[in-house]
């Protein structure tokens, strides 16, 4: 029974990964439902189950199930069951593959018992989600995909640095450290805040949700927001001491989201940021109730979204590029056109200083016979023979 349970635990993220490979006999329609089955079965396994993967990553990783994980897993299974039915990923092989990768990523992140594994799986989920957006119809969603990808990369870098600090200060087991520095806390909060599309980095999620079909907002809520909040819950707070600085960041984000647009997807995420920020100020409360609060918030947000109570698209029409995008475009133009022009000008001036003379054609004339390979090979062998002779006759008498 234990063996079967462990296999189910491994199959939860493993089967979706396997099903991304092309294979005969299994149509696209059945791949996602099949991929979800092990995760659904894992819900009924006893808590405390754990599978160690000692050869993986940085000195070992693993998957496990406890009471809190079961709640997150149940939410994920429910979300995916709804999404598979509503979004019809099977209409496209690319969408099916990306959905399978996103599913594997999210399930792996939920079941991971240590931070490096969580980072791996959640990154996979994030990139796959951006891929789904990029392949979706509509210029707005493709724009959202590019923005989301840039933010995801930035978040990954921040979380990587946080993980390094955690490893140095404490343990990778849950990225909780004995004496966390403010830097670690700020990096972790920023990283997960970016991933969860907290204000002011929320716009791309709104863009992803607009237009048809209307289940795109649920996909955004189920994947990046849920996994980002799960990261906050898992990684923070590290100890029972309050952490005012990162708490302030979260509270500011919540205030901005709630003030900017009530009854919208970012506002709902802002409430979760509010809870996390309060949790950093009152860690005893967060340690006791944080998981429940976050799960309840995720479930409530999803229900409200499905009921049509949350606005999940930008209110105004399409705008031009953001200041960051305009700056990036200017930087690229500078590097692709202006810099080479300056470089060529400098090189031309330098070349003008060197007089053209017959001696410059000498290397070419010397090179011509070397290009005949038989001569080159012969010279090489002759060099080897000479060295051997030197070695033979330069030894001690």
Partner 1 sequence: MSRETALPLLILGSSLLPGLLIFFLAEKRVVLRTLLNMTGALVKLVLVGVMLAGVLAGGQYETRLPLLPGGLELVLRADPLSLLFVTLSTGLWLVTTLYAIGYLENSPHRSRFFGFFSLCVTATVGLAMSGNLITFVLFYELLTLATYPLVVHRGTEVARLAGRKYLAYTLAGGAALLLATVWLYALAGTLEFTEQGFAAGLPERHRPALVAIFALMIAGLGVKAALVPFHGWLPQAMVAPAPVSALLHAVAVVKAGAFGIVRVVYDVFGIDFATSLGVTLPLALLASATILYGSLRALFQDDLKRRLAFSTVSQVSYIALGAAVVGPAATVGGLVHLVHQGVQKITLFFCAGNLAETLGIHRVSEMNGVGRRMPWTMAAFTLAAFGMIGAPPLAGFISKWYLGLGALEAEQGWVMLVLAGSSLLNAAYFLPIVHAAWFRPPPARWPDERRFGRLETAWALLLPPLVTALLTLLLGLLAAAPFSPLEWTWFIVEREYAR
Residue 194 CA to residue 349 CA, distance in Å, equals 48
CB of 386 to partner 1, least distance (A): 12
Q: How far apart are CA 120 and CA 105, in angstroms?
A: 8
If one asks whether residue 116 binds partner 1 (CB under 8 A), the answer comes out as yes
**String marking each residue 235-254 x if it binds partner 1 according to CB under 8 A:** --------------------
| Cβ atoms < 10 Å from Cβ of 211 | 15
Which residues 33-92 are close enough to bind partner 1 by CB under 8 A? 54-60
Q: Any idea of the CA torsion for 278, 280, 282, 287, to the nearest 10 degrees?
A: 110
Of 52, 339, 347, 362, which one interacts with partner 1 (CB under 8 A)?
A: 339
Q: Is 37 exposed, middle or buried (0-12, 13-18, 19+ CB in 10 A)?
A: middle
**Contact mark string toward partner 1, 196..215, x via CB under 8 A:** --------------------
Element (H, E) at 61: strand 61-65
Show contacts with partner 1 in window 121-140 (CB under 8 A).
Answer: 123, 127, 131, 134-135
**Hey, which residues between 374 and 393 contact partner 1 (CB under 8 A)?**
374, 376-377, 380-381, 387, 390-392
Residue 25 sits at φ, ψ, to 5 deg, of 90, -10
Asked if 227 and 197 touch (Cβ cutoff 8 Å), the reply is: no
DSSP-derived letter for residue 334 is I
Applying CB under 8 A, which of residues 7, 47, 52, 157 lies at the interface with partner 1?
Answer: 157
C-alpha distance from residue 48 to each of 1, 63, 113 (Å) = 14, 11, 11
The CA distance from 6 to 53, in Å, is 11
CB 243 to partner 1: min, Å: 20
Q: Give the helix/strand (H/E) hosting 289.
A: helix 283-306
Q: How far is the CB of 276 from partner 1 (least distance, A)?
A: 24
The distance of closest approach from Cβ of residue 191 to partner 1 in the complex, given in angstroms and rounded to an integer, is 12
Q: What residues does 311 pair with on adjacent strands?
A: 264
Using rule CB under 8 A, residue 326 touches partner 1 = no
Q: Any contact of residue 364 with partner 1 (CB under 8 A)?
A: yes
Q: Nearer to partner 1 by C-beta: 44 or 373?
A: 373
**Are the C-beta atoms of 237 and 282 separated by less than 8 Å?**
no
Q: How many residues lie near partner 1 (CB under 8 A)?
A: 52
Span from 8-16, 150-158, 207-215, 261-269 in contact with partner 1 (CB under 8 A) = 150-158
**Binding residues vs partner 1 (CB under 8 A):** 54-60, 94, 116, 119-120, 123, 127, 131, 134-135, 142, 145-146, 149, 153-154, 156-157, 160-161, 164-165, 167-168, 332, 335-336, 339-340, 363-364, 367, 371, 373-374, 376-377, 380-381, 387, 390-392, 394-396
């Amino acid at each position: 029974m234990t063996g079967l349970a462990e296999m189910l635990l491994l199959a939860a993220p493993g089967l979706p990964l396997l099903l991304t490979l092309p294979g005969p006999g299994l149509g696209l329609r059945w791949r996602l439902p099949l991929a979800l089955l092990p995760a659904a079965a894992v819900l009924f396994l006893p808590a405390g189950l754990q599978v160690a993967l000692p050869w993986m990553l940085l000195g070992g990783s693993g998957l496990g199930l406890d009471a809190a994980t079961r709640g997150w897993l149940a939410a994920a299974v429910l979300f995916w069951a709804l999404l598979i039915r509503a979004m019809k990923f099977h209409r496209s092989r690319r969408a099916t593959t990306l959905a399978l990768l996103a599913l594997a990523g999210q399930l792996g992140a939920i079941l991971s018992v240590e931070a490096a594994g969580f980072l791996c799986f959640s990154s996979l989920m994030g990139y796959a989600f951006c891929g789904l957006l990029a392949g979706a119809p509509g210029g707005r969603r493709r724009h959202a995909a590019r923005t989301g990808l840039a933010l995801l990369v930035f978040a990954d870098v921040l979380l990587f640095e946080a993980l390094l600090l955690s490893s140095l200060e404490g343990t990778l087991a849950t990225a909780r450290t004995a004496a966390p520095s403010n830097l670690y806390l700020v990096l972790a909060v920023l990283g997960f805040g970016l991933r969860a599309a907290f204000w002011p980095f929320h716009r791309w999620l709104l863009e992803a949700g607009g237009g048809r079909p209307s289940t795109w907002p649920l996909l955004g809520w189920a994947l990046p927001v849920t996994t980002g909040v799960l990261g906050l819950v898992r990684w923070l707070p590290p100890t029972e001491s309050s952490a005012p600085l990162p708490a302030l960041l979260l509270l500011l984000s919540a205030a901005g989201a709630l003030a900017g647009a009530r009854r919208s997807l970012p506002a709902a995420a802002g409430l979760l940021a509010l809870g996390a920020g309060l949790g950093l100020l009152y860690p005893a409360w967060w340690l006791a109730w944080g998981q429940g609060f976050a799960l309840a918030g995720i479930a409530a947000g999803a229900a409200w979204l499905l009921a049509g109570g949350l606005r999940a698209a930008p209110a105004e029409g399409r705008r031009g590029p953001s200041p960051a995008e305009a700056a990036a475009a200017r930087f690229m133009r500078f590097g692709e056109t202006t810099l080479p022009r300056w470089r060529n000008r400098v090189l031309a001036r330098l070349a003008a200083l060197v007089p053209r003379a017959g001696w410059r054609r000498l290397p070419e004339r010397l090179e011509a016979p070397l290009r005949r390979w038989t001569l080159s090979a012969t010279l090489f062998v002759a060099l080897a023979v000479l060295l051997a002779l030197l070695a033979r006759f330069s030894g001690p008498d």
